[in-house]
Amino acid sequence: MKSRAILVLGPALLLAVPAAAGCSGGTAEPPADSGGAGATGAAAAGSSSGAAVGAGGTGGATFAGSAGASSGGGAAGGAAGASAAGTGPSGGAGGAVAAGGAAGAGAGAGGESAGAGLSTTPGRMMWTAVRHHSGTTPNGRTNGPTQGPEQALVVHNGGAAALTLSLSLTGPGASRFRITSPSGALQLEPGADAEVRLALTTSSDELGAPPAQDDGATALSAALELSAGGKTLSIPSYALVLTYVELEPTFGQILRAFPEYTTKLPSWLPDDANPNPPQLPGVVAGTDEVSAPAFERMDPQKPVVMRALARFSPPGLVPFGWYDPASPGARTTVATLAELKDAQTNDKSRMLEPPLASGSTTFTPSADRFGIWMTPAGVGLLASEDASCFDGKHRVRTWSVRDAQGVVRPGTFLIGGEEAANGDYQDYVFLLENVRPAP
């Protein structure tokens, strides 16, 4: 379902999201590279071996009065973003703006207006792109396209009166985005829809010096504000601009795109795009990682949700799904990550919210106990049970997910899959819902 941001006539819910620690990411290709000029913000203290980071959901509609609230910060810095209450089938309640001005949450998927008002589809805008360098490209690296990507959203007037909407961009990364249409105010009759288009600059000359290798991508956050009659609807944008096609963001930069949730990662993971922990260690103590070779449904009357939040891996179709631990060779495919021509995302293989070629984000396992798996082409099986992985190593990690206040969200887990040896665990990132580790 597409997400929607909704402007409702009512009080806003204030959410403060803890600051996200940057994360790491790499694949079997050249070492994951340069990183984030993104939002800063301190990580929650946790324990000496863990670092708290924001994770993902499909959050609610961002709402502001005449003062606006598009660049709220987290607990570690900045004013909290204001959010209306919309929810989605797999997202948490209301949205927020990520710590240190990272990304605001989008509208809940499939959310509907609580009354007459303004809404957009989608309710947030996610971007992944590659810098275009005017100079010489180093050997083994691929330059980005000359033009940055462009996206459209549809604005709907669900009210009874015509609206004259002013459009503006706010937030720390606003100068890196531009409104390409309309060129002025937007006139919207009752019940009517209109398209608004935004573009992202990827010129390295305009973005400034790229981050150092292993620091991730250049992270940018901004918000498109639609204002009328003293009310403002804020649609967050969050972009990860890779330094070259082969290079990747950190795990923390990925999770900042989804600020509704937090988790505590091992200290070597959040801020390094190429961490190389010794021998892919097992479950790390002092973090939110749990031992989960198999799962069971928390509510047996509801399906399991397995939603891809990010993928930073070589291109190719990647099926994923569930299996009965008693018969690990008989795997059930839930969906397949797509391979589609796109120079900005290496054919949809390096991006936030990667598309599916087939399947869905929910499944109902026939086994009481089940594991999860994914099979990258040319690599082999990655599975929740180490013994089922192609080399028997700990290639799939499972972390408990917390809400913005640090309270564990029952039945919700973050999954990180590692297909190479550098231990970034962002080759495949999923949100798993309505499950718990099976005994």
Going by pLDDT thresholds of 50, 70 and 90, the confidence category of residue 52 is low
Cβ–Cβ under 8 Å, residues 54 and 255: yes
- The secondary element (H helix, E strand) that includes residue 304 is strand 304-312
Q: What is the mean pLDDT of residues 35-56?
A: 39
- With CA atoms as reference, report the closest residue to 238 among 79, 417, 252: 252
- The Cα–Cα gap between 52 and 139 comes to 36
CATH number of this structure's domain 113-247: 2.60.40.10
pLDDT at 19 over 50: no
What is the biggest distance separating any 2 CA atoms in the chain, rounded to whole angstroms? 63
pLDDT at 151 over 60: yes
DSSP string of 315-348, one letter each residue: SS-EEEEEE-TTSTTSEEEEEEE-----TTTTTT
Q: What is the mean pLDDT of residues 129-133?
A: 98
pLDDT at 171 over 60: yes
Q: What is the mean pLDDT of residues 370-387?
A: 96
Q: Please give the share of the chain, as a percent, with pLDDT higher than 90.
A: 69
Beta bridge partners of 371: 323
| Among 49-58, 129-138, 307-316, 369-378, the least confident range | 49-58
Q: What is the mean pLDDT of residues 254-271?
A: 92
Query: Higher confidence at residue 100 or residue 412?
Result: 412
pLDDT at 6 over 60: no
Domain ranges, ordered by start, for the chain: 113-247, 294-438
Structure confidence at residue 63 (pLDDT):
32
pLDDT at 93 over 50: no
Q: Which residues of 156-185 are buried (b: 16+ CB within 10 A; e: fewer)?
A: bbbbeeebebebebbbbbbebbeeeeeeee
Structure confidence at residue 106 (pLDDT):
37
Going by pLDDT thresholds of 50, 70 and 90, the confidence category of residue 78 is very low
SS3 label, residue 120: strand
- The Cα–Cα gap between 109 and 87 comes to 7
CATH 2.60.120 fits 294-438, yes or no: yes
As given in the structure block, the two tokens for residue 272 are: 């390094």
Going by pLDDT thresholds of 50, 70 and 90, the confidence category of residue 275 is very high
Q: Could you report how far apart the first and last alpha carbons of the chain are, in Å? A: 33
- The Cα–Cα gap between 244 and 137 comes to 9
The model carries a pTM of 0.78
Query: Higher confidence at residue 117 or residue 227?
Result: 227
| Among 16-25, 302-311, 402-411, the least confident range | 16-25
